[in-house]
Structure 1
Amino acid sequence: MSKSKRLLELMMTINRKRKFTVKELAQEFGVSTRTMLRDLQELSELGVPLYSEVGPHGGYQVLKERILPPIAFSEEEAVAMFFAVHALRHYSSLPFESESASALNKFYLHMSGDVRDRIDQMKNRVDFVTPTRQQESPFLSILLEAAVDQKVLLITYGSDGDEACRKIQPIGIYASNGLWFCPAYCFLRKDFRIFRCDRIQSAKYDTEGTEPMDLRDVHLGNKETVFQTEKESVGLYAELSQKGVQMCEAVLWLGSHLHIREDGTGWLVGPIPQNDIPFYARFFIGLGNEATVKQPPELIDTIKRLFAEILSKYDS
C-alpha cells in the first residue's frame, strides 16, 4: 500500500475510533510502530486534532473537532453545496455561524478557477429570498445542543416589554421569515410553548437539578401534534381569498390548518391556543380583506377591539 493511500485510510480509521494505541494501528495496517508514529505525526501536521495520553491506559484520541475524510464532489455537486450554504447569508444569526463561513471559504478556494468563475457569475442570478432581520439570536447553539442532549436551560426571556426567567427544555430550533424560533417545554407553564430566539436575553444550563422531560420522541417533525394537545384551545375557522391563501402559504406555523380549493381560495381550520388569541388577532388584521374570521367569537371580538383602537388614532 502506498503511503498516500495509507494516510487516507488511516484518517478514515481514526475518525471512526474514539481511542486507539499506536500498536493497535500498526498491527491493523501491517507496519512498524515507528512508521505508524511518523504517519500520525504527519496527520497531526495536516490538521487532524490528535491528543495523546501516557500511562497504562493511555493512547491517542481524536478531539471533538474531528476531520472528515476527503470527499470527491462533482462540479455540479460542489456548486450546489456552495449555494446551499450561501443561501444562509440573509440570517443575522446561525447556530454554526463561523463554521458555515469557514466551509463556504473552503469550498470556494479549493475549486478550480473556471468553477469559481461560474459561481461568481451565478451569485447575482440565484437567491433564496429571506427577510433580512436586525434582531440577533446569539444562543442558537446552546438551544440546539440542549434539544439534542435532552437538557434543561435557564433563560431570561423578554416579551411585550417584560423580562422573566424561565426553565425550558428545547425540542429544536427553526427559522421562518428571517426569524428563529424554539419550541420547548416550559416548566413554568407546564406545557409546550414557542419562544422567539431573538427575545432570549440569556441562556445557560440549569444547575438546580430540574429533572428533564423524556422528549426523545418529540421533534420538529411532529411538534404540531404535541402543540395541538393543549388543554385550553378553541376552534379556528377563517375564509381566505386567493391572495390570502398565498400569504398564508408562507407562514410556517399555520401547518395543517391551511386548506386550498381548486379555484385558489381556501380556509383555515383547526385548534389554536386560547392564550394566543391576541397574536392571531394581529395576524388576521395583517391579512386585511384577504381573510374573514368566522370562529371563534372571542377572536372576532379581539379583532374588532384592535380595529377600534387603530381607528381611534385617526379620529379628528
Structure 2
Amino acid sequence: MSKSKRLMELMMTVNRMRKFTVRQLADQFDVSPRTILRDLQELSELGVPLYSEVGPHGGYQVLKERILPPIAFSEEEAVAMFFASHALRHYLFLPFEAESSTALQKFYYYMPGDVRDRIDQMKNRVDFLTHTRQQKAEYLGVLLEASVDQRVVTMQYETKNGYSERTIQPVGIYASNGFWYCPAYCFLRRDFRLFRCDRMQSVANDSTGIEPLDHRHIHLGNWEEHGSEKPVYIRMIVDLSREGVRRCESELWHVPHMDITPDGSGQLNQNVPSSELMYFAKFFIGLGNEATVKEPSELVECMKGILNEIMAKYD
C-alpha cells in the first residue's frame, strides 16, 4: 500500500476508532510501530486532533472536534456547496456561526485557482436574500444541542407582561423571515409552545433535576400534532394577483396551497387555524389590491375592523 493511501485510510480509521494503540494500528496496517508513529505525526500536522495517554491503559485518542476524511467534489458540487454556505452570511446569528465562517474559508482556499476565479465572478451575480433582523438570538447553539441530545433547559423569556422563567425541552430551531423560532415542550404549561429565540434573555442546562421526555419521534415537521390543544381550522379562500402570489410564497411561513394560472395570478385555498385570523387579516391588508379575501366571513370582518380603526385615526 502506498504511503498516501495508507495515510488516508489511517485518517478514516482513527476517526472511526476514536481510541487506539500504536500496536493495534501497526497490526491492522501490517507495518512497524515506528512507521505508525511517523504516520500519526503527519496526521497531527495535517490537523487531525490527536493526543496521547500514558500508562498501562494508555494510547492515542481523537478529540471531539475530529477531522473528517477527504471528500471528492466535482467542480459544480464545490460551487454549490460554497454558495449554500455563503448564503448564511445574511443571518446575524447562527447555531454554528464561527464554524460556518471557517469552513467557508477552508473550502475557498483549497479550491483550484480557476474555480476561485469563477466563484469571485458569481458572487456579484447570484445571492439568496433574507430579512436581516437586528434582534439578538445568542443561544441557537445551546437550543440545537439540547434538541438533538434530548436535554432540558431553563430560560429567561421576554413576554408582553415582562420576564418569566421557563423550563423547556426544545424540539429544534428554524428561521423564518429573518427571525429564529424554537418549538419546545414547556413544563410550566405541560404542552408544546413556540418561542421566539430573540426573546430569550438566557438559556442554560436545567439544574433542577427535571427528567427529559422521550421526544425522539417528535421533530420540526410534526411537533404541532403532539400538542394537547388541537387547533380549530377554518377554510380560507383568497384571490391573488401575480404580485400577491409572489408575496405569499416569500412571506408566509407555511407555503400555502395555491392554484396558479398561466398569467401568474392564483387563488389561495387552504385550512388555517382560526386563532391566526388576526395575523392573516393584517397580512392581506398589507397586500392591498393584490389580494381579495373570499372566505371566511370572519376574516373579512376582522379586516374591516382593523381598517375602521385606521380610518378613525384620520377623521
TM-score w.r.t. structure 2 length? Answer: 0.88
Q: Could you tell me how far 1:125 is from its partner in structure 2?
A: 0.4
Is 1:117 the counterpart of 2:132? The answer is: no
Aligned twin of 1:59? 59
Deviates more, 1:151-160 or 1:262-271: 262-271
What is the alpha-carbon distance in structure 2 between the residues aligned to residue 176 and residue 77 of structure 1?
26
Q: Give the direction of change, closer, same or farther, for the CA distance of 1:141–1:233 in structure 2 (3 Å limit).
A: same
Following TM superposition, by how much is the alpha carbon of 1:232 offset from its aligned partner in structure 2, in angstroms? 5.0
Counterparts in 2 of 1:85-234, with a 5 A limit? Answer: 85-160=85-160, 162-223=162-223, 225-226=225-226, 230-234=229-233
Q: How many residues align?
A: 311
Q: Do the aligned residues in 2 keep the contact of 1:237 with 1:296 (CA within 8 Å)?
A: no
State the 4+ residue runs in structure 1 displaced beyond 6 angstroms. none
Q: Is the 8 A contact 1:235 1:296 kept in 2?
A: no
After superposition, the C-alpha distances for 1:52-103 in whole angstroms (9 at most, x for unaligned) are 2233332221111110112222222211111111111111111111111111
CA distance in 2, matches of 1:152, 1:300: 42
Shift of the 115–102 alpha-carbon distance from structure 1 to 2, 3 Å rule, reads: same
Residue 257 of structure 2: aligned partner: 258
How far apart, CA to CA, are the structure 1 residues paired with 2:120 and 2:97? 22
Q: Contact 2:150–2:216 (CA<8 Å) still a contact in 1?
A: yes
Aligned CA distance change for structure 1 residues 288 and 165 (closer, same or farther; 3 Å): farther
Unaligned runs of 5+ in 1: none
Q: Which amino acid aligns with 1:164?
A: S
User: Which whole-Å CA distance do the structure 1 matches of 2:71 and 2:304 have between them?
Assistant: 59
For residues 27-61 of structure 1, give each alpha carbon's deviation from its aligned partner in whole angstroms, at most 9, with x where no partner exists: 10112222222221221222111122233332221
Matched, 1:239 2:238: yes
Once the two structures are overlaid, the 10-residue window that deviates more, 180-189 or 138-147, is: 180-189
TM-score (norm 1): 0.88
Structure 2 Cα separation of the partners of residues 268 and 98 of structure 1: 42
Which secondary structure does the structure 1 equivalent of 2:253 belong to?
helix
**Kept after mapping to 1: 8 A contact 2:236/2:272:** no
Among the aligned pairs, what percent are the same residue?
Answer: 60
Q: Following TM superposition, by how much is the alpha carbon of 1:171 offset from its aligned partner in structure 2, in angstroms? A: 1.2
Offset of residue 277 of structure 1: 4.8
Aligned partners of 2:193 and 2:302: how far apart in 1?
A: 22
Contact map agreement 2:258 2:269 (CA 8 A) in 1:
yes
- Give the Å deviation of 1:234: 4.5
Check whether the contact 1:248–1:254 (CA below 8 A) recurs between aligned residues. Answer: no
Q: Indicate conservation of the 8 Å contact 2:8/2:69, yes or no.
A: yes
Q: How well do the aligned residues superpose, as a CA RMSD in angstroms?
A: 2.4
Instruction: Give the conservation status (yes or no) of the 8 Å contact 1:230–1:273.
Output: no
What is the CA-CA distance between 1:273 and the residue it aligns to? 6.0
Residue 300 of structure 1 and its aligned partner are, at CA, apart by 5.2
Q: For 1:152-197, what per-residue CA distance to the aligned partner results, in whole angstroms no more than 9, with x for missing partners?
A: 1111222446322212211111122222221222222222222222
